[in-house]
Amino acid sequence: MDLIYRPRRLRRTSSIRALVQETSLGPTDFIYPLFVHSGREVEPIIAMPGSNRWTLDALVFEVERAWKLGIRCIVLFPKIDQSLKSEDGAECFNEDGLIPRAIRLIKKELPEMIIMTDVALDPYSSDGHDGIVSNDGVILNDETIENLCKQALVQASAGADLIGPSDMMDGRVGAIREALDGESFEDVGIISYTAKYSSAYYGPFREALDSAPKLIASKPIPKDKSTYQMNPANSREAITEAQLDEQEGADILMVKPGLAYLDIIYRLRQESELPIAAYNVSGEYSMVKAAAEKGWIDEKKLVLETLLCFKRAGADLILTYHACDAAGWLNNLG
């Protein structure tokens, strides 16, 4: 055949393919989500094989393991004892609460590790929502933000590097930025859950934290989070959310979930110069683990391909429960 252009020339050997590879993936791209509880034993999370609820002491060892693998950022999620939960989630801004203690402990042992936190009420709420639920079943936006600001300040004071508002209340990024700056935490960044969709992919995570909405007889509790999390049918709305978060002072924008929303990651990458994060969420993780346990997939190849796809779509950072496994594979440790 008389062909001038033969794209296969640049696929002929592994060295040539590496030379012209457009997208790269490495351990410093990962943010490792970790669950922590106040119990005495490490608890495996049944719905998330390979993930655990860590005790404070064991958490430090896991963070050190991640550091040695080249991971430079973690995010902490608490499983709060039921006795500490309330309708307003006030435990979230307890200076001696589980997350502030975890932050201080990690910073003492590994001060260079970047610590991201979650800012939302659902782990602390007896109603299981990210915001305060009124007596007539409405998620209260402005009242919730008051507590989120208190939560962010407690986390920053404990040593958090990045505050992650995951609640999807309107105006919370600006309010948190103002609160942080007002207390001389100008250097603490905000990684905003900018496009967080009301998704079925969160199921295993909610089991891990016992943070799903609680249906009770005493007041009407919304059965899901669709009045504040985004409609999976919408994409233009994500641009609006991103523009608002930028105006309010976000440093990093996040899309959650990740795999089913690669188009949203791509659109935000085209619209914004800020770093973009993708959250490879619990449901995505658990499906891979389940298929791997059945022997239906090659876990290593599938995970690395998935993470590379987030980068190709435009993500700079990836929150993933596969972080340590992926870092080990990339380091040729397994």
CATH number of the domain bearing residue 305: 3.20.20.70
Q: How many CB atoms lie within 10 A of CB 111?
A: 9
> Which value, in Å, is the radius of gyration of the alpha carbons in the chain?
20
Hunting for tokens 């930028």 — which residue is that? 246
Task: Indicate the SS3 state at residue 250.
Answer: coil
Would you give the distance in Å from CA 85 to the centre of its chain?
Answer: 22
Question: What distances in angstroms separate CA 59 from CA 54, 106, 111, 245, 280, one per listed residue?
Answer: 5, 8, 14, 32, 21
So what's the pLDDT on residue 23? 94
130 phi and psi angles, rounded to 5 deg: -75, -15
Q: Please report the pLDDT score of residue 298 as a whole number.
A: 97
- Does any domain span residue 7? no
3-state secondary structure of 261: helix
CB atoms within 10 A of CB 300: 15
Structure confidence at residue 334 (pLDDT): 62
What residues are labeled active site?
196, 256
Task: Please tell me the least confidently modeled range out of 127-136, 164-173, 209-218, 280-289.
Answer: 209-218
For the cut 80, the answer to whether the pLDDT of residue 269 exceeds it is yes
Return d(Cα 78, Cα 124) in angstroms, integer. Answer: 9
pLDDT, tens only, 65-118 = 999 999 999 999 999 999 999 999 999 999 999 999 999 999 999 999 999 999
In a domain, 299, yes or no: yes
Question: pTM, whole model, 2 decimals?
Answer: 0.94
pLDDT at residue 220, rounded to an integer: 85
Helical spans, DSSP H, in the chain: 14-19, 56-68, 98-109, 141-158, 172-182, 203-209, 236-248, 262-271, 282-293, 299-313, 323-330
Helix boundaries (H) for 210-261: 236-248
Q: Is residue 184 part of a domain?
A: yes
**Could you tell me if residue 42 is inside a domain?**
yes
3-class state of residue 61 by DSSP: helix
In whole angstroms, what is the distance from residue 13 CA to residue 130 CA?
51
Averaged pLDDT for residues 13-30: 94
- CB contact at 8 A, 301 and 334: no
**pLDDT value at 206 more than 90:** no
Whether residue 15 lies inside any domain: the answer is no
Dihedrals phi, psi of 79, to nearest 5 degrees? -100, 110
| Model confidence pLDDT, tens digit, residues 109-153 | 999 999 999 999 999 998 889 999 998 989 999 999 999 999 999
Q: What is the C-alpha separation between 284 and 279, in angstroms, rounded? A: 10
- Domain range for 176 is 24-330
In a domain, 3, yes or no: no
pLDDT of residue 208: 74
Q: Is the pLDDT of residue 207 over 90?
A: no
Residue partners of 316: CB distance under 8 A and separation at least 6:
29, 275, 276, 277
Backbone φ and ψ for 139, nearest 5 degrees, come out as -80, 120
Q: Calculate mean pLDDT across residues 255-266.
A: 97
Amino acid of residue 188:
V
Name every residue whose Cβ is closer than 8 Å to that of residue 118 and which is 6 or more positions away in sequence. Answer: 75, 76, 77, 164, 166
Instruction: Kindly report the length of the chain.
Output: 334
How far is Cα 27 from Cα 321, in angstroms, rounded to an integer?
13
Q: Write the DSSP symbol of residue 179.
A: H
Position 42 scores a pLDDT of 96
Using the structure block, give the residue that is written with the tokens 């003492």. 108
Mean pLDDT, residues 205-214 taken together: 74
Domain membership flag for residue 311: yes
Rounded to 10 deg, the angle between the 98-109 and 56-68 helix axes is 40
Instruction: Indicate if the pLDDT at residue 217 is higher than 70.
Output: no
Average pLDDT, the chain: 94
Q: Does 265 have pLDDT greater than 90?
A: yes
The total number of structural domains that make up the chain: 1
Closest CA to 26 of 317, 321, 333: 317
Token pair for 184: 């001389």
The answer to whether position 5 is within a domain reads no
